[in-house]
A and B are shown apart, each in its own frame.
Chain A
Amino acid sequence: MSDELKIVGLLCNWCCYGGADTAGTARMQYPPNVRIIRVMCSGRINPSMIFKAFEEGADGVFVGGCHIGDCHYDAGNYKWSRRSKIVEDILEEFGIEKERFRHEWISASEGEKFQTTMDEFYKTLQKLGPLELK
């Protein structure tokens, strides 16, 4: 059953998407359950996107952005980071474990970090099982 786990990955164009690309070209194995959506900046992601993903059946949502200080648009990842705290708080109240929502700073060269992050996240979700919305 766990192979049907759905992960939505919202990745920033300049860093994490590049990281996923690096992992791919280097043929690093990571769980195929992640569906990647490229966004221009993690600062562009609003909480409704995360909620929409869960509503539509995602079992986990991952957000990847540039390391703090490296944002292509100066401060987008700071904004996302603050927003992510609100998202966590809200998810909790609706019975969605906060472990189902993860965000990480991954640069374009960190293919390996992308791989291990995905592995870890997948394992966490495996333990939690499919999400049942209230």
Chain B
Amino acid sequence: MLEIKHTLCPSCSVGCGINVVSHEGDVVGTYPYKRHPVNEGKNCLNGRNSIEAYKNKLESAIVSNSDVDIDKAIDEICSNLKSKDSDKITVFCSGNNSVEDIEAIKSFAEANNYNIASYADNIVDIDGEVASYDDVEKASKLIVIGDVLYTNPLIGRRIIHAKDNGADVYSFTPEGSVTANVSNEICDSIDDVLNNFGDNLDESSVILFNTVNSSEDLDKIKEIADKANSKILPVFSKCNSKGACEIIKAQSKEEFVELLNDTDLLLVFNDDLIPEIDFDFGSISTIVSFVPCENSTSNASQIVVPVKSWLENDGSFVNAMGETQTFSAVIESDALGVDEVIEKIQNKL
């Protein structure tokens, strides 16, 4: 029967609410969740399209390109794990997983002395307090790095509100982009925007960014924010990157690639690394993917295990401003959760 249920949007770290429509056991659409304080019923195209993950979900486990029973795949994983040295085994998880799943992944890796890796858009060491969305809205000055209006529209909307409240907006974003259209000044590089306008910042200012090229950029952002006593707000591309960073220290791209160089067996939990990381994944002898639906990394994996998609899962995400939000499944599922898969593997080791 037709049902409309609340959940959280998994398409970036803003933490928007979204209503999912299910009908006769199938996910059929989305509906605005106007009561949600973060986005008031507004969702971007990525958000509304995120239900596609359910429509394209994997039906069975895959070992060497052929469908197999899930227990067979787990046996295969276990024999791989047993045959390799634990320091050559890397477990990777990202902000696509819920807080609960990341904790399960972490304890699994620690119990077996595997390497553990986490990556969040090359953004590292963001431990302190970050700006809240209200801080952005009430800011007197904003430095925006990246086309935030386009990539993270529901934080972009807060920038618009700040602008309407009289804030000055300085950005590093392409000319003609929507973010540029609401900015007072645009610059050609991160350095430029920080050097030219860093001195204008005060304690009610915010530096907002969704992209950094290097750790130097990041250090500079932090230094300028510290000097002016302003807040920063990193916006991640994955829904729970903030939560993931709090559990497992995120690595920079260089650190991560170094670890991959030393890896023989890579377990990837719910992520697509190949388009994101410039690395020859063919050099890793075995890749195991735990994913709800196919992606380029799972296509390159020797073993693929289907797990619950976000729509079928319960748990919590931590959004970009550090607020923990819980969500519950909108549809029943017979797929296994990440924690259940891990338990099965651990039991057979």
A and B touch in the complex (CB under 8 A): no
